[in-house]
Amino acid sequence: MNRAHANPLRAGFTLLELLVTVSILAILMGLIVPVFSHMKQNARIAADKVTAKNLETAFRAYLDHYSTWPSSIGANEKNIEGDLYEMLRGDKGPYNQDGINFYEFSNTNTGDKAVDSFWDPNEPDNERVFRAQFDHDYDNTISHAGGDIQRPVIVWGVGPDGKNGTADDITSW
């Protein structure tokens, strides 16, 4: 048969086959994309758990070296930013007179805050900063969220919802 006189029905079936194939691919993408999104969120949560634990370890190393917390830190929860951030990073100052680098902050952190992996530089709020609370009477007990935690320091992040004090907070304890 001459190609110039191809069967028009065959061309129609080819278009129908293409539409079916595209539809199947669209359905598969609709199923796969949420799975990858969930996997990405789980990876961020896992990374933040490691970071919270490592920040706690860095604060413990600070306490081992200096044998005391700076009095100006206080017993209430604090964002790990400014002086606390500089203290761990090794900047010489009133909190770290020996200039010891207790924690190597990743390049994803801002210049003065320990932010979590959900942090977006385009978000205007400051909620994505890890927090710490210290045992100032050195009895190895910190009262936090209505309970006592047996540690010299605790560190946590706000988790996926971005709100402090909710069930999805990511903690070091």
**Spatial separation of the C-alpha atoms in residues 70 and 39, rounded to whole Å:** 40
Is 120 or 55 the better-scoring residue by pLDDT? 55
Alpha carbon dihedral 129, 55, 81, 141, in 10-degree steps, equals 90
Q: For residue 131, give the nearest of 171, 94, 160 by alpha carbon.
A: 171
The answer, yes or no, to whether residue 4 has pLDDT greater than 60, is no
Q: For residue 141, give the nearest of 128, 127, 153 by alpha carbon.
A: 153
Query: What would the DSSP string read from start to end of 111-165?
Result: SSB-B-TT--TT----TTB-EEEE-TTSSS-EEETTEEE-SSEEEEE-TTTT-TT
Question: pTM for the full model?
Answer: 0.79
Is 8 or 167 the better-scoring residue by pLDDT? 167
Quick: pLDDT tens for 86-127: 999 999 888 999 999 999 988 655 678 899 998 887 776 657
Residue 101, token pair as written in the block: 């680098």
